Amino acid sequence: MTVYTLKIDGRDVAGSEGQSIMDVAEENGIDIPGLCHLPGIHDRGACRLCVVKIGGSPRLAAACVTKIAEGMDVVAHDEELEEYRRAATEMMFLERNHVCAVCVANNHCELQDLSADLGLTHFELPRISPTVDVDLSHKLFGLDHNRCILCLRCVRVCDEIEGAHVWDVMQRGLETRIQADMGVDWGDSVTCTSCGKCVQVCPTGALFEKGRPVAAGTRDERPFLPWLRVHQEERGL
């Protein structure tokens, strides 16, 4: 296996061929934010929060889907990148209707934590405030599109780990929604096994266990999806 040496934020680090910048940064304790990234499932570079600068290139690259190369010089943190990340996070909030105070994920939310880390204290862009659906048709779980940031962790975990591929994406742009099967109510899905993995990986309160009170969190207290790690190792990722 070829080993590459590179720099991240001025630090000399090393990684194996095929690893992403995100993986190597994680191994070396360098925190690069990301909401669609989840170890154990394929990355897709959707949230754009892990953007980094490489060499002198004017083009920003998503650290989760960019493979490392010998002699790379990566800047993962500077004022400009923080500003981009704040802007991307702000737009996630504005596209839907996020009300932390009455959300099941309050104090257990990756979007909320990230906003605090980035110092996103207020919104400068106008809100869109769209009218979107809440689907409570499943007997155990609920889906609130108001809180969905389209990270598509649910789509990937259902496809790659559970193997059911209940979730996919429909429509485009601001109208983009995750959908069960071919656009049916979740409760009417014939492929859903009710395993709850999608709920476990949702970074916000978009997917939740029904009946959970506000701020109770969407996930179990058990160790966070250990099988994702096992699966990752089995696949040699």
Partner 1 sequence: MSQTIVIDPVTRIEGHSKITIQLDDRGEVVDAQFHVTQFRGFERITQGRPVHEMPALMARICGICPVSHLIASAKAVDDIMAVEPTPTGADLRRVINLGQIVQSNALSFFHLSSPDLLFGFDGDPAQRNILGVAAANPQLARDGIGLRKWGQQIIEWMGGKRIHPEGIVPGGVAFRLTEEVRDRILAGVPDALAATERAIAWYKSDMLRWEEEATTLGNFRSAFMALVDRQGNVDHYGGWIKVIDADGHALAEPIDPKHFNDYIGEAVEPWSYLKSTFWKPMGYPDGIYRVGPLARLNVAEKTGTPRADEELEKFRWRVGRVASSSFHYHYARLIDTLHAIEKIELLLRGPEITGPHTRSTAGINRNEGIGVSEAPRGTLMHHYKVDDDGLVEWVNLVIATGHNNMAMNRAVLQVARHYVKGDRLEESMLNRVESVIRCYDPCLSCSTHALGQMAIKIDLLAPDGRVLSQLAR
**Residue closer to partner 1 (CB basis): 62 or 103:** 103
* 128 is an interface residue for partner 1 by CB under 8 A: no
Which residue, 33 or 142, is less far from partner 1 as judged by CB? Answer: 142
Report how far residue 50's alpha carbon sits from residue 213's, in angstroms, rounded to the nearest whole number. 32
> Strand 177-180 to strand 167-170: parallel, antiparallel, or no bridges (unpaired)?
antiparallel
**CA-CA-CA-CA dihedral for 143, 149, 152, 158, to nearest 10:** -20
Q: How far apart are CA 41 and CA 31, in angstroms?
A: 19
Cβ-in-10-Å burial (0-12, 13-18, 19+) of 187 comes to middle
Least separation in angstroms between residue 205's CB and partner 1 is 10
Tokens of 234: 């089995």
Beta strands of 55-126 (E only): which ranges? 60-62, 73-75
Find the binder of partner 1 among 7, 42, 165, 210 (CB under 8 A). 210
CB of 98 to partner 1, least distance (A): 14
Binding partner 1 by CB under 8 A: which of 2, 57, 79, 101?
Answer: 101
| DSSP reduced 3-state for 6 | strand
Residues 57 and 106: beta-carbon distance below 8 Å:
no
**Binding segment (CB under 8 A) for partner 1, from list 88-96, 136-144, 191-199, 226-234:** 136-144
Asked if 134 is part of the footprint of partner 1 (rule: CB under 8 A), the reply reads yes
Task: Assess 97 for contact with partner 1 (CB under 8 A).
Answer: no
Among 29, 126, 211, 223, binds partner 1 (CB under 8 A): 211
Could you say which of 139, 175, 234, 236 contacts partner 1 (CB under 8 A)?
Answer: 139
Q: Which of residues 149-188 bind partner 1 (CB under 8 A)?
A: 187
User: Which listed range, 4-12, 131-139, 167-175, 191-199, lies at the site for partner 1 (CB under 8 A)?
Assistant: 131-139
94 binds partner 1 (CB under 8 A): no
CA separation for the pair 11, 5 (Å, rounded): 10
Determine which residue in the list 181, 215, 231, 232 makes contact with partner 1, applying CB under 8 A: 215
Two tokens at 171? 């429509």
Least distance in Å: CB of 94 to partner 1?
Answer: 19
Please tell me the count of residues contacting partner 1 according to CB under 8 A. 18
Looking only at the bridges linking them, the beta strands covering 73-75 and 3-8 are: parallel
| Spatial CA neighbour of 68 closest among 139, 3, 141 | 3
Binding site for partner 1 (CB under 8 A): 101-102, 104, 134-137, 139, 142, 144, 187, 210-216
